[in-house]
Structure 1
Amino acid sequence: MSHSPVRPLVACGMAAFAASVFAQDARPARTNLAPVVVTATRTAQEPFDVAAAIDVVATPPDGTLDVNLSERLQSIPGVVARDRQNYAQDTQISIRGFGARSTFGIRGVRLYTDGIPASMPDGQGQVSHFNLDSADRVEVLRGPFSALYGNASGGVIQLFTADGTEPPEVRLGVAGGSNGNFRVSANARGVEGPIDYNVDVSHFRTSGYRDHSAARRESGNAKLGWQIDDDRKLTLVLNALDVPDAQDPLGLTRAQYQANPRQVASVADTYNTRKSVDQQQAGLIYEQRVNDANSFRVMGYYGQRSVTQYLSIPKATQLSQPGNSGGVVDLGNEYGGGDARWVYSDQLAGRPFELAAGVAYDNQNQHRQGYNNFVGDTLGVRGLLRRDEIDRVYDFDQYAQATWRVADDWTLMGGVRHSTVKFGSKDRFIAKGNPDDSGRVDYSATSPVLGVLYRIAPIAHLYANWGKGFETPTFSELGYRADRGAGLAFDLRPSHSRNAEVGLKLQPRDGTHAEIALFRADSRDELAVATNLGGRTTYQNIARSRRQGVEASLDTTLASNLKLVLAYTHLQATFRSPFLTCVSAGCAAPDTPVAAGTRIPGVPRSNGYAALRYGAERGWQAGIDANAMGATSVNDLGTESAPGYVVFGLSGGYVTERDHWRINTFARVDNIADRHTIGSVIVNDGNGRYYEPAPGRTFLVGVDLRWKE
């Protein structure tokens, strides 16, 4: 009989929560400032009073590498954030099963930094430019209210850069450890008259756990605020990222993983698979309070992102197919847009009422070129041009969202968003055997959401909500037709979902917060793989699918300077309709049946996190944590899966303050038992290389310095 590796964490959590509640009168309460979030309602609210599942993660505890967003999201239920140990691909993130099918980038989840989209209008995004050194907090919204952010809103993740501080601070950090990991960062933040600033630069490099996985990342972030007067503020956000020639080790088959998890597929070395990214972005935000009841906010942004990626498509495949787009992808992106929002906060029928209404426009122009990845017998270099097109996608959305406290114990929330998403492609490479692929396709949807919160008692709030959402195909999924004809895959339809959740939020005492939520999302026209042929993946719509489950979390102070954090998710994600799919790289048409009830790949049955931390502002720090992941199916047939696991970590350090200095020295050990585990999966890989191994036992040491005037 098999057992989930997550169940022991759940049992420990129940016991710890009971002990926390019943012990509340045995020690004095601690006064903590309640966190404030804006992602759920677009106005400042305490999470405890919001009729939705939303969490805020502040600056992580001292002693982490803090390079990947996955380090910040471990304690949030419903979220699976996998560090792929592959910097040629982005962090793999899914929320309640949405976004799990993505083999690169992030889809199905909306991403923002300081209110500026990090997701493109087609729904594909990335978090590689998220600057964690300068961040104040990360907010994660799950469930129906995510739909009010438009296309592909299976959830919303938003990072907020910290404002300048008074007195000014300078922060320096250095950390290094196993596999050649090294991070150095410098940050300055402060206030000078009406100007506040937060400027950060960071450098990270790694040799990689696996062969052929070395990478380097340079990033910079600046947030400059100008308080024009008491009612007006202007904020400038600048961001830059450079990732040159990050090596891509690709995935492994099960046999390769079992033989040597550090190895790479031979084609990775043969074609020197790698990826380079260069991005610059600027955003400007203007906020004005008109009077006590009215205010408005206008945001505009513009960015450029270039990507060059060398793939492992065989030379013979490219030579034998006139329409093949080659093994080198060269993308030049220009993107931008804006959001204008009016907020009204007063009373309606004598009760507190808030309304936010606005319009949003986002545009992406992409110059996509493809080249052979060979010249003669030399492989892994740029060869002849095989693809040249201009792709454009833009959205234009209108939204309104209201919160009304209709009685002391009752709050109603509701909203609606209308979205229009338009794709167009102009083929500039037309040759014999490669006809004109130009075309366009438009999508639109209206997404309503309703919610209610009931205050059972001062310590317990019950909520429920319901809404509709939708997700268009991305340009990557529209790029090829399953029938191998010319043009975009016009036959693909957007996926529409109906989402519902009910939850209970508890704050039995100061310093303790617990939540439990039941959720269900029924989707029609789910996107799944149709064919894999010659390095091209095509997609199809599946009639019905379902994601349902339960998530729970606890954050509590057990004793003086001793904190416990727990999170658990159980998720059933299945196809509800049968369909045909491909099972091999040479499959030209779907021919293998997938039964109704088959698990959606990339979604673990359960996952959990537990951490016990000791430490005050100064002195010794210590912690132990556990990450658990259930078995994860890797293909639509459900014939293979990554096994579940539990890994433990230990951390410790010492913090001292002298005059103007705060000095934190720290050390950490991850995967103490040195277990071999699958860190992430590549869903439906046509070559059966589904598995991306995670490191065994690793070490990290470092020091963070802060200087204040």
Structure 2
Amino acid sequence: MKKTLVLLIFCCINSLHSQSNISGIIRDETSLTPINNVTILVLKTGKQYFSDEKGKFDILSNGTLEFSHPGYESKQITISENGTIVISLAPKVNKLQEVLINSLSIPLQQKNAIEAISIINKQQINRGNNLELHPILNKVPGVFMQHGTLNTNRITIRGIGARNLFGTANIRTYFGDIPLTDGNGESAIEDLELGAISRIDIHKGPSSSSYGVGLGGTILLHPDFSLNTPVESSISSTIGSYGLQRNVATVKVGGKVSNLNVIYSNNRSDGYRANNTYHRNTLTVTSSLEAGKKNHLSLIASYIDLKAGIPSSLDEETFLTNPRQAAFTWGRSQAFEDVAYGILGINWTHDYHTSFSHHTSVFSSFRNNFEPRPFNILKEKSNTFGIRTRIVGDSKIIRKNFNWTIGGELFFDNYNSKTFENLYEDFPIGTGSVLGERLSDLDEKRNYYNLFLESNLEFTPKLTFNLGVHLNQTFFEIKDLFTNNEDSSGDFDFDPILSPKIGANYELTNSVIIFGNIAHGFSTPTSAETLLPDGEFNANIKPEIGWNYEIGTRYQLFDNKLYGTFSIYSLRVRDLLVSRRTEEDNFFAINAGKTTHNGIEGSINYQLYQSKQKQLLLSFNGTINDFQFDEFIDLDNDFSGNDLTGVPSHVVNIGLDYVTKKGIYGNLNFQQVGQIPANDANTVYSDGYELLHGKIGYQNQIGSHIFYDIFLGANNILDNNYTSQLQINARGFGGNAPRYFYPGLPFNIYGGINIKYRL
């Protein structure tokens, strides 16, 4: 009996000594947001543990642990010694409503949001050639990206930004916690390397108080981090029609508490049109570090070197008969842009308590551009610096869950632009642009501050209210360094703008959620729009102001085989900024009216077939737009009641995705786009069109370390002629017809291979 008791005690002591004291944190793989209430199962004993509110855990165990949470792929790791670890869970493709969003403000599951949010995950980003962003964004209800060339794009959300003459405006964009929107309110996200992005969150409408309240909404690009993964390197090569070449090299090193990702890409294209070459090199570095149990550091750096020709838009006759031609003067001057662009951001997170944390980011960027155009040659330089900080807390109010964030953002943008004569007409054909005398030299300081407060109150287990307020003030200071003509120097400070919002989310059943919000937003004029044709400041110019009213639903039915969203909204905008051209290269802005943006958006996803070996997913999303000028009088022209310029009447996408366990995969997407008004008078429209895109591939491995992916894709399989972008309100000069149309690519293919080595 004594021997048995001694043996039992010995076994218990030995068992305790064989166990390991494991602590750590569990995060979303893409956003790095801590995930609470993750189930930690000890497979040997069947005992369960759970992560706390900050995703942290501290257990005594050994052997293999399994980490699982709704909406995420389960992960198993084997424990052999004491230590601290970081676990990253990947979102499931068909359970996006469970995925955490708002990682940099108030983390919550997507299903609990009070606004329409679309999430594009890594699998969806990889459905195309990984170079072009527009096939990805144009599958999102309410979002439409026009793409004249690889370097000429315009993104609109719910019609906002469609009237911007050049590029994307009135939409806030961030890469991690780094603002990509410049001091003029313009963004260029198409130049970033898609391979460095793990997820894209799109908040539609001015309802994201913590990220700014652009009238169109906010686009959040999540950098790709690698946590608790082995050393991995990969090389990818793609070739395609019209001289497309894309080569990408990646190195990832992920430890228990730190990681480093380095990705380099080289992208080339001869282009479909004359004067349409494209060459872009990018280098992106991301890294994160768990500095103890209370501190987390992350770094994001990206450098882009881009040179691309500018063929510009075509008149209707040339568009129909010779779409490969460049616009005459743009081809003759061999117009191009040569851009060097870099961004750097460092983020520090400190957990004071399980329910109280502090997040601070410091960021900087530079952009240099040399751009010969037929009417002048532009040289521009900009440098930005800023800081963004916020406190996030979880509290109780009358025994109700209450989480909140309060913070601010300071942004300083120094910009210089010089223009010079382009003397190309004085030289033989084929010479291209020639630098002449200086025409202008402007220094601009474009600064703003944002202050924000946002909170969620769980009124009942099924009903949550969201309240937010955002305060912005923008300042322009212009120094004219070349005063041969009018002196454009001066200061222009806009009045502070207060933007409130209120929203609610109600869980009608376990499978159906309804939400709604009322939110205020604005868009300030660019510094160029504050100047009158004589160079004087327009003291009467005002920001565009809008109110968004929205109600919608998210649903998951039939054992999650059917899921999607549906939204109805009305966005009312006043003091509409209208660009009035005075000559080919000069324009100014006026506040000339009101617009109403009424729309319906919806998505349906259905798992047609699913087994352990394969799955087939059918998806449908659609947008119906009813955007009109309520009041719009410009000089003697009354455009009231006309359709809003530059926005399609509707967009419909139908897609099929096929994946097998053996590595075979494929997707097919059919898109139908309605006609688009090309001018405010609605006398010219682009025709509606249909596009069919597809991609097939095969993934497998050689041994236990080498993985490969071979793929082949095709765009515009139906080989339809279509307008990929409109130059709205184009005017003809010198007796020439207006040039409204950018031709889209005809049928084109691409293919390649990705080889990955993992230790």
Is TM > 0.5 for Structure 1 vs Structure 2? yes
Give the structure 2 partner of residue 641 of structure 1. 685
Give the structure 1 partner of residue 231 of structure 2. 168
Give the structure 2 partner of residue 8 of structure 1. none
Extract unaligned runs of 5+ from structure 2: 1-91, 733-737
Q: Deviations over 1:330-358 (max 9, x none)?
A: 11101110101000113222122110100
Deviation at 1:554, TM superposition (A): 1.8
**Does the C-alpha gap of structure 1 residues 181 and 550 become closer, same or farther in structure 2, counting only changes over 3 Å?**
same
Give the structure 1 partner of residue 244 of structure 2. 181
Give the structure 2 partner of residue 242 of structure 1. 305
Alignment check: 8 A CA contact 1:532 1:686 kept? no
Alignment check: 8 A CA contact 2:691 2:717 kept? yes
The yes-or-no answer on 1:369 pairing with 2:418 is yes
Give the structure 1 partner of residue 715 of structure 2. 670
Give the structure 2 partner of residue 576 of structure 1. 630
Alignment check: 8 A CA contact 1:466 1:500 kept? yes
- Range with greater deviation from structure 2 (617-626 or 274-283): 617-626
Identify which of 689, 693, 700 aligns with 2:743.
693
Deviation at 1:144, TM superposition (A): 3.6
Identify which of 466, 470, 487 aligns with 2:522.
470
Partner Cα distance (2:388, 2:404) in 1? 16
Partner Cα distance (1:366, 1:384) in 2? 21
Alignment check: 8 A CA contact 1:234 1:287 kept? yes
Partner Cα distance (2:458, 2:654) in 1? 35
Task: Indicate the SS of the match to 2:640.
Answer: coil
Give the structure 2 partner of residue 622 of structure 1. 666
Write the letter of the residue equivalent to 2:517.
N
Partner Cα distance (2:344, 2:263) in 1? 15
Deviation at 1:134, TM superposition (A): 1.9
Alignment check: 8 A CA contact 1:669 1:698 kept? yes
Determine which structure has greater relative contact order: mean sequence separation of CA pairs < 8 Å that are 6+ residues apart, divided by chain length.
1
Q: Deviations over 1:486-505 (max 9, x none)?
A: 32333321011011100011
Deviation at 1:527, TM superposition (A): 0.9
Q: Deviations over 1:302-323 (max 9, x none)?
A: 111001111122xxxxxxxxxx
- Range with greater deviation from structure 2 (168-177 or 453-462): 168-177
Task: Indicate the SS of the match to 1:667.
Answer: strand
Alignment check: 8 A CA contact 1:572 1:605 kept? yes
Give the structure 2 partner of residue 381 of structure 1. 434
Write the letter of the residue equivalent to 1:442.
D
Identify which of 375, 378, 403 aligns with 1:329.
378
Give the structure 1 partner of residue 147 of structure 2. 83
Alignment check: 8 A CA contact 2:102 2:108 kept? no
Q: Deviations over 1:72-99 (max 9, x none)?
A: 3232100002232242x3x320000011
Partner Cα distance (2:268, 2:752) in 1? 15
Identify which of 690, 693, 703 aligns with 2:753.
703
Identify which of 688, 698, 701 aligns with 1:657.
701
Give the structure 2 partner of residue 213 of structure 1. 276
Alignment check: 8 A CA contact 1:242 1:278 kept? yes
The yes-or-no answer on 1:679 pairing with 2:724 is yes
Partner Cα distance (1:46, 1:635) in 2? 42
Alignment check: 8 A CA contact 2:628 2:641 kept? yes
Alignment check: 8 A CA contact 1:40 1:50 kept? no
Task: Indicate the SS of the match to 1:237.
Answer: strand
**Does the C-alpha gap of structure 1 residues 511 and 171 become closer, same or farther in structure 2, counting only changes over 3 Å?**
farther
Extract unaligned runs of 5+ from structure 1: 1-28, 314-326, 581-589
Partner Cα distance (1:188, 1:30) in 2? 25
Deviation at 1:32, TM superposition (A): 5.2
Give the structure 2 partner of residue 11 of structure 1. none
Q: Deviations over 1:455-497 (max 9, x none)?
A: 110100011100111110112323x41xx32323333210110
Q: How does 1:103-252 map to 2 (within 5 A)?
A: 103-146=165-208, 148-150=210-212, 152-165=214-227, 166-244=229-307, 246-252=308-314
Task: Indicate the SS of the match to 1:477.
Answer: helix
**Does the C-alpha gap of structure 1 residues 57 and 511 become closer, same or farther in structure 2, counting only changes over 3 Å?**
farther
Deviation at 1:420, TM superposition (A): 0.4
Partner Cα distance (1:86, 1:186) in 2? 21
Write the letter of the residue equivalent to 1:228.
A
Give the structure 2 partner of residue 396 of structure 1. 449
- Range with greater deviation from structure 2 (406-415 or 74-83): 74-83
Identify which of 373, 396, 404 aligns with 1:311.
373
Partner Cα distance (2:501, 2:95) in 1? 32
Write the letter of the residue equivalent to 1:517.
S
Alignment check: 8 A CA contact 1:144 1:467 kept? yes
Q: How does 1:431-446 map to 2 (within 5 A)?
A: 431=484, 434-443=485-494, 444-446=496-498
Give the aligned CA root-mean-square deviation in angstroms.
1.9
Alignment check: 8 A CA contact 1:618 1:657 kept? no
Write the letter of the residue equivalent to 1:569.
T
Alignment check: 8 A CA contact 2:731 2:739 kept? yes
Write the letter of the residue equivalent to 1:446.
L
Alignment check: 8 A CA contact 2:206 2:214 kept? no
Partner Cα distance (2:237, 2:528) in 1? 38
Partner Cα distance (1:453, 1:193) in 2? 37
Give the structure 1 partner of residue 618 of structure 2. 564
Identify which of 529, 554, 558 aligns with 1:505.
554
Write the letter of the residue equivalent to 1:656.
N
**Does the C-alpha gap of structure 1 residues 293 and 148 become closer, same or farther in structure 2, counting only changes over 3 Å?**
closer
Highest Rg: 1 or 2?
A: 2
Write the letter of the residue equivalent to 2:350.
Q
Q: Deviations over 1:599-626 (max 9, x none)?
A: 1111111112111011135322222211
- Range with greater deviation from structure 2 (193-202 or 349-358): 193-202
**Does the C-alpha gap of structure 1 residues 33 and 528 become closer, same or farther in structure 2, counting only changes over 3 Å?**
closer
The yes-or-no answer on 1:50 pairing with 2:82 is no
Percent identical pairs in the alignment equals 22
The yes-or-no answer on 1:59 pairing with 2:122 is yes
Give the structure 1 partner of residue 88 of structure 2. none
Partner Cα distance (2:94, 2:671) in 1? 30
Partner Cα distance (2:425, 2:743) in 1? 34
Q: Deviations over 1:520-541 (max 9, x none)?
A: 1111101112233141021211
Task: Indicate the SS of the match to 2:111.
Answer: helix
Q: Deviations over 1:507-532 (max 9, x none)?
A: 11335421110001111101112233
Deviation at 1:41, TM superposition (A): 8.0
Alignment check: 8 A CA contact 2:167 2:187 kept? yes
**Does the C-alpha gap of structure 1 residues 457 and 254 become closer, same or farther in structure 2, counting only changes over 3 Å?**
same
Partner Cα distance (2:304, 2:455) in 1? 37
Identify which of 312, 315, 320 aligns with 1:258.
320
**Does the C-alpha gap of structure 1 residues 301 and 510 become closer, same or farther in structure 2, counting only changes over 3 Å?**
same
Partner Cα distance (2:102, 2:435) in 1? 43
The yes-or-no answer on 1:71 pairing with 2:135 is yes
Alignment check: 8 A CA contact 1:134 1:187 kept? no
Deviation at 1:151, TM superposition (A): 5.6
- Range with greater deviation from structure 2 (348-357 or 336-345): 348-357
TM-score (normalised: structure 1): 0.89
Deviation at 1:385, TM superposition (A): 0.7
Alignment check: 8 A CA contact 1:194 1:226 kept? yes
Alignment check: 8 A CA contact 1:173 1:185 kept? yes
Partner Cα distance (1:689, 1:450) in 2? 44
Alignment check: 8 A CA contact 1:138 1:160 kept? yes
Partner Cα distance (1:185, 1:468) in 2? 42
Partner Cα distance (1:192, 1:41) in 2? 23
Partner Cα distance (2:213, 2:601) in 1? 24
Q: Deviations over 1:541-568 (max 9, x none)?
A: 1231111110001233221210122211
Give the structure 1 partner of residue 13 of structure 2. none
Identify which of 515, 525, 529 aligns with 2:579.
529
